[in-house]
Structure 1
Amino acid sequence: MTQKKIFFVLIAISTVSLLLHHGGHLNLTFEAFWLGCPSSTLSSAQGSSGPAPKHTSISFLKTHKTASSTVQNILFRFAERNNLSVALPVTTCDHQFCYPRPFSTHFVHPHTTPPDIITNHLRFSRAELRRLMPNNTIYITILREPGAMFESLFSYYNQYCLSFKRVPNGSLETFLDHPWSYYRPEEKDSMYARNTLTFDLGGDKDRPSIGAPAYAKQFAAEVERVFSLVMIAEYFDESLILLRRLLSWDLDDVLYVSLNMRTPDSKSNLSSQNTAKIRAWNAIDSVLYDYFNASLWRQLRALGLSCVEREVQLLRQSRDRLVRGCFGGYLPPLRSASQITNKELRPWQPSAKVAIVGYDLPINITQKGHVPLREECLKMIMPEVQYTRLLLRSESLRYRRRFPLRNSQQILQSAGHVRAHREPPPPSLIPQPSENMSQSTRRVLQLS
């Protein structure tokens, strides 16, 4: 071997050793080289020799019971790390954009405009989102297999959705035997009882059966024209690989822990017969899921399944490393909301009949060397409602620093897409530090 070859080999070994020594945080270009995978789609499309800049204009349609809360948390944390603005609902809409009403720019809090990212629940309206978001916005959503999704919806909204509430003994099997005996299309919350994915995407959940198959195919094609990526919950990590490549993000940008999960005893095992009944009842959702599940796998095969498998392994290793760095080796224990001592980590409970679990973080938890828990670690396990309110407080403080002389009436009048009669957020809806919070949570709430 010539001296020149030996020199280059030593340089390569030194570079790899250095990167691994610093925690293995490899950038997108180096990962692609190391794994033998194609570079990101955006980088290739732009014909650039180097990695494309991270894309920051994102509209994520947060669908129901599809692992979308976990994606939302990824986007919230990315926005904070990169000093991006997140569109958040006005307080009269709570933590959703006045769902189930079709989305309107009127529902966006004026302190959070113009936004880079939007991710809270809304019913999709492309026209209204185009008015709000930048022209280069990338649209993303996530779907879940209709049988598992409907079982989750039935359990989660059993005491809210009247179509479910009137079923004797709260039996899913009874509902599936005669759904039209309990379902009322015009009732409040009926969107949880039939074709919920279609409704969230702005479609017609109650299209008559005679025209439903043709409508479903047409609607799936329309969704594909708008959304650059439709993730699939059953293949969550594989979907994240496509997401980060689409956005030219680093692997560290899509690390996560699962949120908004039910306890095992809240779940029902579906027979194949009941799964078939659910898919027939949610026929449009079923077409959508099958269409985009096939689309996802076409994209994965184009990337190379062996490449995807290696990236998924790297993703999981990086996630384990993050957990070790945050919590000393293991995630905090999962507990029902009533058992979680820190109220800032208690997930919202839909009813007493279903338990949503969160992470119980002891007040005195520390890292190695008795260093207090990092704020980014706390936010990674923070439920949607609390994180949304925290971001609203942070965005409002930033807005007031930019426009210190404007009173609340002037703010409302200057925001052409917000009705002038809206009141500023009541103090009770903005989290404040309390005596029983951990020091880490206190610091998070004091952020501007």
Structure 2
Amino acid sequence: MKPPRLQALGVALGVFVTIGFTLQLLGGPFWHRPPPAPPCQPHTHVVFLKTHKTGGSSIVNVLHRFGHGRGLRFALPHRYQFGYPLPFRAPRVRGYPEGAPFDILCHHMRFNLPEVQKVMPNDSFYFSIVRDPASLGESSFRYFRGAAAAFRNSPSLGQFLAQPTRFYRYGERGNHFARNLLWFDFGLPDRPKNSQEIQASLAFLDRTFPLVLVAEHFDESLVLLRDALCWPEGSVDSFAHNSRSRHGAARASGAAHAEQLRAWHNLDWQLYLHFNSSFWARAEAFGMQRLRREVSRLRQRRERLARQCLRGAGPVPAHDIPDGNLRPFQPPGGDSVLGFALRDGLEPGMRELCLRMAMPELQYKDLLERVQFGAR
């Protein structure tokens, strides 16, 4: 005879086998579990509308590094912008039409969807970024002082806002920088007749851009962008490019004139409110606790990379950068733009990562052009 313990074990095993077989025959809920959701596929066809003075240069650096590291092909301008401020046209892309479609389009343009669609695949992911006109208007005044006639002729931002029509003339050279710059960059009609036309323009943008980032919440924007693109963690790590030496004073100046700036840039203000609302709706869908956790990890990685890569662990004036390839462009007549100097003694792999993260937009564009087309 079998021992009682073994006999009981055999009975129990028989019961479990019988139950399992019965559930299989009946199609029971315990047997048929839903299959796991398939993992998302990373987007490699991307259109970024780089708006002015919104932190777009840092986003472009992310796109440059992602595409460069994976051998993707960029739609590149013959110089550094696609004929801006004229609307984008496909022939302004180097290598068009023979090389089309491309993988990534991310340099300054005035948006023109039908022409963009000629150079980019149909499954491209479109996104952009906006900024509160209270700070964007002040930043534009200082950065484009030498380019916009309205700013150049005004003694100060305060005097300009007190009587903007005294200095501003519609259509005068460079004055697209002086009023509703976001609206202009999005390629929208710059003098809509009524609120219905404004709402129609915003509806068009909703259909075109699944995601619009918000400059005031830049780190949250990076997290939501990474999620939307299905890119690996760390792929959106970045340093803040094109920061200015007078940022603190400028921010205080802009805050003092906030309501005047929003009123003058009234179309930009409506556009900003619209996309700020959709941004936070997306954040809620993502999960606010999850968003805060990922933002915290993003900031920790950035701080660690800054300590490892950069002299002083942050931006420095251009004259303190010994490598000329890392000195950012300085706008004529505006505040000086800061850049990054690499630490000495970095091992080769780390130096390459740091170099790419620190490289200004114009120099990186030249590098990508050499990769795609060879030396000129």
Alignment CA distance shift 1:272-1:160 (3 Å): closer
Distance across 2 between alignment mates of 1:308 and 1:218 = 31
- The offset of 1:244, in angstroms, is 1.0
Distance across 1 between alignment mates of 2:214 and 2:233 = 19
Aligned partners of 1:345 and 1:382 also within 8 Å: yes
1:337 aligns with 2:318: yes
Structure 2 counterpart of 1:89: 77
Structure 1 counterpart of 2:366: 389
- Please give the per-residue CA displacement for 1:359-405, whole angstroms capped at 9, x wherever unaligned: 1236xx123xx5575222101111111111111111103xxxxxxxx
Q: Structure 1 length as normaliser, TM-score?
A: 0.72
Q: Which amino acid aligns with 1:52?
A: C
Aligned partners of 2:188 and 2:201 also within 8 Å: yes
Structure 1 segments of 4+ aligned residues over 6 angstroms from their partners: none
- Please give the per-residue CA displacement for 1:157-181, whole angstroms capped at 9, x wherever unaligned: 10111111111x2x00111011111
Structure 2 counterpart of 1:25: none
Q: Structure 2 length as normaliser, TM-score?
A: 0.85
> Within 5 Å, which residues of 2 pair with 1:236-275?
236-264=218-246, 267-270=250-253, 274-275=257-258
Q: Which amino acid aligns with 2:262?
A: R
- Please give the per-residue CA displacement for 1:286-333, whole angstroms capped at 9, x wherever unaligned: 000001101111111122211110111122223334345545xx6655
Distance across 2 between alignment mates of 1:292 and 1:217 = 12
Distance across 2 between alignment mates of 1:242 and 1:221 = 21
Structure 2 counterpart of 1:191: 176
Structure 1 counterpart of 2:269: 286
- The offset of 1:133, in angstroms, is 0.4
Distance across 1 between alignment mates of 2:84 and 2:364 = 18
Structure 1 counterpart of 2:102: 115
1:60 aligns with 2:32: no
> Within 5 Å, which residues of 2 pair with 1:123-134?
123-134=110-121
Deviates more, 1:246-255 or 1:339-348: 339-348
Distance across 2 between alignment mates of 1:318 and 1:267 = 28
- The offset of 1:82, in angstroms, is 1.3
Q: Which amino acid aligns with 1:376?
A: L
Distance across 2 between alignment mates of 1:58 and 1:323 = 27
Aligned partners of 1:332 and 1:360 also within 8 Å: no
Structure 2 counterpart of 1:433: none
- The offset of 1:240, in angstroms, is 1.3
SS of structure 2 residue aligned to 1:253: coil
SS of structure 2 residue aligned to 1:60: strand
| Structure 1 residues not aligned, in runs of 5+ | 1-46, 398-424, 428-448
- The offset of 1:192, in angstroms, is 0.3
SS of structure 2 residue aligned to 1:164: helix
Structure 1 counterpart of 2:345: 366
| Structure 2 residues not aligned, in runs of 5+ | 1-34
Aligned partners of 1:191 and 1:205 also within 8 Å: no
1:221 aligns with 2:221: no
SS of structure 2 residue aligned to 1:77: helix
Aligned partners of 1:72 and 1:119 also within 8 Å: yes
- The number of residue pairs the alignment matches comes to 339
Structure 2 counterpart of 1:43: none
Identity %, equivalent residues: 37
Structure 2 counterpart of 1:160: 147
Distance across 1 between alignment mates of 2:184 and 2:175 = 10
Distance across 2 between alignment mates of 1:183 and 1:320 = 43
Structure 2 counterpart of 1:135: 122
Distance across 1 between alignment mates of 2:268 and 2:229 = 27
CA RMSD, Structure 1 to Structure 2 (Å): 2.1
Alignment CA distance shift 1:102-1:352 (3 Å): closer
Aligned partners of 1:77 and 1:376 also within 8 Å: no
Task: Give the counterpart of 1:303 among 254, 264, 286.
Answer: 286
Alignment CA distance shift 1:381-1:272 (3 Å): closer
Distance across 2 between alignment mates of 1:154 and 1:356 = 15
SS of structure 2 residue aligned to 1:65: coil
- Please give the per-residue CA displacement for 1:221-279, whole angstroms capped at 9, x wherever unaligned: 21111001000001111111111111111111111111011113662523666211111
Alignment CA distance shift 1:113-1:375 (3 Å): farther
Q: Which amino acid aligns with 2:188?
A: G
Q: Which amino acid aligns with 1:70?
A: S
Aligned partners of 1:260 and 1:347 also within 8 Å: yes
Alignment CA distance shift 1:281-1:253 (3 Å): same
SS of structure 1 residue aligned to 2:47: strand
Largest Rg, 1 or 2: 2
- The offset of 1:85, in angstroms, is 0.5
Distance across 2 between alignment mates of 1:160 and 1:219 = 28
